[in-house]
Amino acid sequence: MNGIIARLPGWPTLPDLFGWAESGLPGAHAVPGLHGIRVEERLTDGTYVLRAELPGIDPAKDVEITVAEGVLTLRAERTEETAEEHRTEFRYGTFARSVRLPAEAKDEEATAEYNDGVLTITVPVPEAKTGTRTIPVRRG
């Protein structure tokens, strides 16, 4: 082909593939215009920690965190514009992610902090009682 890359009909171009990495596979979102949020979760030392990647937002006005029936829902909206001499680029959209909290999580004591594009939500979780308990049998 002498250095020419052929594009097969119906196959995405390379930039399209990179777009999938950021926004997910086409048709994978249940709600049009709603994008997922990349998160990592961990449970250590009686604390559940959720870290969410949310660069380019104002947490005071663009983030909503709710808890209902043991499910934590994080919603954010981004409107970002970059202007250069001959080019303007903007990214916008609504992002959402829901996760089930561990059993016995004290959601009323949850805290959230935003730093360098990462939102960290911390929820205390009491240590589960472990061990075996013997139940005495009474004579009737």
- Sheet with 118-124, edge to edge strand ranges: 39-44, 47-53, 118-124, 111-115
Domains of the chain by start residue, with CATH: 34-124 (2.60.40.790)
Q: What pLDDT, on a 0 to 100 scale, did the predictor assign at position 8?
A: 54
For 133, which DSSP code?
Answer: -
pLDDT along the chain (140 residues), means of 10: 52 48 45 72 93 89 93 87 80 86 93 95 85 86
Exposure string (b/e) for 7-35, b if CB count within 10 Å is 16 or more?
A: eeeeeeeeeeeeeeeeeeeeeeeeeeeeb
Q: What pLDDT, on a 0 to 100 scale, did the predictor assign at position 99?
A: 93
Q: What pLDDT, on a 0 to 100 scale, did the predictor assign at position 39?
A: 92
Q: Which of 121, 28, 30, 33 is nearest to 77 (CA)?
A: 33
Q: What pLDDT, on a 0 to 100 scale, did the predictor assign at position 26?
A: 46
C-alpha distance from residue 86 to each of 15, 39, 91 (Å) = 21, 35, 17
